[in-house]
Structure 1
């Protein structure tokens, strides 16, 4: 009987401590992919900053635009100078809420994420699905969504408009660790 109380106390304590903290990653991963009949474009970024507040289920993500790496350096140059204007708009930002955050456990659980995404100085509401799980002490969030280039006032010159898709697939993998001050 005593062991049952100890087990219940341990489970309750772990649930309370899990629900009252912040989890952070400074090395999250995101990529985007543009597919057209003429050319595929992929860029990856391993310097994504993300924080989750487990007491509220809020999430904030910051991505330095210049940290996207391309296979071809000329693509990277055009991306930063002509399309995303990364000197003028250095970051992409997301601030939102993980709606189904209470479902987080060791299993992979589907969640809905809603909030505001700012790219190229333009902010739009977004709702997307993701997969969240708790592995050891980490909170892992994965998913993808579609971004329409025109929604963020990114101008594509007509000369290369057939090389860049109108809708871009964005993928993310965020492995958050407990934040310790």
Structure 2
């Protein structure tokens, strides 16, 4: 836990130089949904940390994998122990920048695509994540949805449960970031 907090503090400190316009949250929400022939799987994490630097359009998102909550606790246990190996790989991280020239300090609704790297299960991949940002000047409402292919992050699906877990899961996020 201390290690995760140190990483967050370091990431946030990188943004804090030169009196920049920052928006942040520690209670963003990210969920995923797996539509498989035998069973649908879904989980939600409501303690996602994120920061956006409105001056240079950089974004960072970090979450603890064990904070995903499942309706079925046995699924949650298998997710953490067998698939995501949460003790070995405790966090998921995205670091990137919006590819569009956005003025997030100005009130409005913006279509945006964050391009950067995502690290899950110890694997870092380049990704492009489409979303929408609504700014009222003092806060940003960020919504996004994108697919993740499990094999891209070396998440193995045992053949015994192959029909219960989709090879591609849909990830959805929603967070309100407050100006600091």
TM-score tier (shorter): 0.7 to 0.9
Provide, for residues 12-33 of structure 1, a one-character-per-residue CA deviation record: whole Å limited to 9, x for no partner: xxxxxxx941111000000000
SS of residue in 1 equivalent to 2:89 = coil
Task: Please tell me whether the aligned partners of residues 101 and 111 of structure 1 are also in contact (alpha carbons under 8 angstroms).
Answer: no
RMSD value, Cα: 1.4
Question: Which is greater in Rg?
Answer: 1
**Deviates most, 131-140 or 73-82:** 131-140
**In the aligned structure 1, how far is the partner of 2:103 from the partner of 2:24?**
19
Tell me the residue number matched to 1:147.
148
C-alpha separation between the residues in 2 aligned to 1:58 and 1:136? 17
- Shift of residue 135 of structure 1? 2.6
Aligned residues: 161
**8 A Cα contact 1:23 1:54, kept in partner:** yes
1:81 equivalent to 2:76? Answer: no
| Unpaired segments ≥5 residues, structure 2 | 1-18
TM-score for both structures, normalised by structure 1: 0.85
Contact conserved, 1:110 with 1:132, CA < 8 A, in 2?
A: yes
Structure 2 distance, partners of 1:124, 1:35, is 23
CA drift at 1:136? 5.1
- Which structure 1 segments of 5+ residues have no match? 1-18
Structure 2 CA distance for aligned equivalents of residues 43 and 100 of structure 1:
31
- Cα deviation digits, residues 79-98 of structure 1 (max 9, x gap): 00000000000000000001
1:38 Cα deviation from its structure 2 partner: 0.7
